[in-house]
Structure 1
Amino acid sequence: MKALLILLVATAGIVLLASYIGQLWRRKKGIVEEEESNPEPMGDCCGAHEICEVDLLNKMSEEIIYYEDEDLDAYKNFEENDYNDEQIDEFRDVLYSLKEKEIEGWIRSLELRKIEMPSVIKSELVFMLVKH
């Protein structure tokens, strides 16, 4: 059972990483997805749900929002495997202090600040998202 769980988390991590790399590749090649070029709310969103509004604002915004994580700016341009245990714990402290609805915004904030998450944190994040 434990091996199955590890396999599931590893597979989810690989899928997440592959989609992230694909997204970066498309941006570099100038391929823009239709959704990104037309950031209007979907027909299913009535505007009464906080999640719809937050998602729309996060995707449209290029403004950097800090989540009491200014110290992480020191890791700009680090690679995901360059972190030591103490540095990984800094990311972990921020991640586990966030509310569920803030996680996507935090990830976007790190992307805008050019901060690569440690690979261990990416795996934990995938596990948290799959769990819910």
Structure 2
Amino acid sequence: MKVLLISLVVIAAIAFLSTWIGQKLRARKGEIEEEPEVAEPMEECCGAHEICETDILNKMSEEIIYYEDEELDVYKNFEENDYNDDQIDEFREVLYSLKEKEIAGWMRSLELRKIELPSAIKSEVVFMLVK
């Protein structure tokens, strides 16, 4: 068992050293350029993403649109971790009744109504928006 463990450590060390030495040699030859500085994120959307475009369009409107979810108004000013399982299911029920195109608008509606999504639902919404 010790021999196997020592062998794995030695193999890992050899791999690390060979990679490190290879990078140093390529850097000397000029094959590797220095990494460019990371630009700070733009305050405005670049417009290249469907989500950004939808978000910009929704933010232009200050009109609250209800998606047959008036019952969620009772959760105004709740924190994302304050919800119990039944309350989370209420949000989930509304979310899964929406069409894909309506999700971004629903998110904007909740934002205008000062209703924060439960943390358990946020990842589901992001997944639905990205796919």
Ranges of 4+ aligned residues in structure 1 off by more than 6 Å: none
Give the conservation status (yes or no) of the 8 Å contact 2:104–2:129: no
Matches within 5 A, 1:67-106: 67-106=67-106
What's the secondary structure of 2:110's corresponding residue?
helix
Please give the alpha-carbon distance, in whole angstroms, between the structure 1 residues aligned to 2:64 and 2:79.
Answer: 21
Change in Cα spacing, 1:126 to 1:70, as seen in structure 2 (3 Å) is same
Identity %: 81
- Matched residue, 1:126: 126
Please give the alpha-carbon distance, in whole angstroms, between the structure 1 residues aligned to 2:87 and 2:126.
Answer: 19
Please give the alpha-carbon distance, in whole angstroms, between the structure 1 residues aligned to 2:80 and 2:67.
Answer: 20
Matches within 5 A, 1:1-132: 33-34=43-44, 57-130=57-130, 132=131
For residue 129 of structure 1, report the CA deviation from its aligned partner.
2.6
CA RMSD of aligned residues (A): 2.1
For residue 56 of structure 1, report the CA deviation from its aligned partner.
5.6
Q: Which digits, 9 at most, give the CA deviation of each residue in 1:70-89, with x for residues without a partner?
A: 00000000000000010000
TM-score in terms of structure 2 length: 0.57
TM-score in terms of structure 1 length: 0.57
Give the conservation status (yes or no) of the 8 Å contact 2:100–2:128: no
For residue 124 of structure 1, report the CA deviation from its aligned partner.
1.1
Please give the alpha-carbon distance, in whole angstroms, between the structure 2 residues aligned to 1:34 and 1:128.
Answer: 23
Where do 5+ consecutive residues of structure 2 fail to align? 1-42
Where do 5+ consecutive residues of structure 1 fail to align? 1-32, 36-41, 45-51
Please give the alpha-carbon distance, in whole angstroms, between the structure 2 residues aligned to 1:121 and 1:56.
Answer: 22
Q: In the comparison of the two structures, how many residue pairs are matched?
A: 84
Please give the alpha-carbon distance, in whole angstroms, between the structure 2 residues aligned to 1:122 and 1:34.
Answer: 23
What's the secondary structure of 2:64's corresponding residue?
coil
For residue 57 of structure 1, report the CA deviation from its aligned partner.
4.3
